[in-house]
Amino acid sequence: MSAEAKSASLARRDDFPILRETVNGHPLVYLDNAASSQKPRQVIDAIRRYYEHDNANVHRGIHELSNRATEAYEGARQRVADYLNAGSRDEIIFTRGTTEGLNLVANTWALENLREGDTILLTEMEHHSNLVPWQMLARRIGAQLDFIEITGDDGQLDLQWLDEQLARARLLSLTHVSNTLGSVNPVAEICARARAAGVITVVDAAQSTGHAPVDVQAIGCDFLAFSGHKTCGPTGIGVLYGRRELLEAMPPYQGGGEMIAKVEYRDVTFNVVPHKFEAGTPNVAGAVGLHAALDYLDAIGREAIFKHSQHLAKLACEQLGEIDGIRIFGPSEGRSGVVSFVLPDAHALDLATMADQKGVALRAGHHCNQPLLAKLGVPATARASFYFYNTEAEVDRFIEVLHQVRKLFA
């Protein structure tokens, strides 16, 4: 393959100023996209324009700047609804990120509806943000946790007992794509089986929403959460989708301004959805940046983005597989752009530290998946995660650096 072909990505890399950086004297090869994606100039410019021309507090303002800010904020809400194919923009709640969205569901719908002895069903591959909130709730109300097991290093869910587990559960919360294994779970099938059993479903879409088509109506979930910073958007902004009839019946998550309709000394009337879940001044600039990010991703095409990331991950796995004694975690076919592995002769943290000296940004550790890694019998893995702006040449550079690091431990 020609050098020109190997350098090709799905986007103009010039759109991403940070990709021109050098690290320790080497061109940056950024392979930590599962932790956070980089931001194109279009997103950076949208945020700057907002602060330079439209910045004000939203809602209830009479002056022009407030009207512009409100239009931008609510326009971003509509953009997210379109992106997810939600039934209405009123089903879109802005949060700080996936973690807050999941905590919101745990502390509103679940706290209001679950009782002592009820079962919350999770999977063994959940990120801590989709495990710890349910642990805290279970301790608080005396609920039980149950887990859909994984089949081993291949990172597949064992669904043979799913119907029996759903028969005992009131709520199921699961990840769409594993941040460690790269597994793409059949969430539409699982949600359909849960719905037939009368079980409420929550989907952690942090690793999928910016990487693949996500349609909440096709998935059939009751709630879905994602983060802006993993979708080429800014940090500090996220989204919780919820079916409107559920949102309307839920109590607010926090109290303060905006989430109220009327306040008296001894009583309060709450605002309508989605505003009753957005207490205080919102992250308007973050919403503006998210809007621009979703426009950017759709201009490329989410299906194309996913296929490109999968292609690079497959290339990486093929070359990693030539190393004797390596353990590669996750499915051999159909994985996302996430590749986690353990070398026989180098600790993951040492590998990532030395790779950084060569300009290659990897992630090493437990990836907020401590129970999963304990089940797999490893304290940490190294992780390379690819996105649409990465190239085949960067895969080659990653493998080259890996071999250079291994020689130091020989």
Q: Compute the distance between CA of residue 59 and CA of residue 36 in angstroms, rounded to an integer.
A: 31
Whether the upstream peptide bond of residue 40 has omega within 30° of 0, thus cis, is: no
Nearest to 274 by CA among 130, 88, 105, 102: 88
CA-to-CA dists, residue 353 to 149, 382, 387, 393, angstroms: 32, 10, 21, 21
Nearest to 368 by CA among 207, 203, 230, 180: 180
Copy the structure tokens of residue 314.
Answer: 């497959």
Helix ranges (H only) for 343-391 are 348-357, 370-376
Q: Compute the distance between CA of residue 6 and CA of residue 243 in angstroms, rounded to an integer.
A: 44
Per residue in 189-210, is it b (16+ CB within 10 Å) or e — as a string?
A: ebbebbbebebbbbbbbbbbbb
Q: In degrees rounded to 5, what are phi and psi of residue 226?
A: -150, 170
Active-site position among 191, 232, 317, 368: 368
Reply yes or no on whether 368 is catalytic: yes
For the chain, how are helix, strand and coil distributed in percent, rounded to 5? 45, 20, 40
**Torsion over CA: 5, 10, 16, 19 (sign):** negative
Residue-level length of the chain:
410
The CA-based angle 146-150-153, given to 5 degrees, is 150
Active site residues: 368
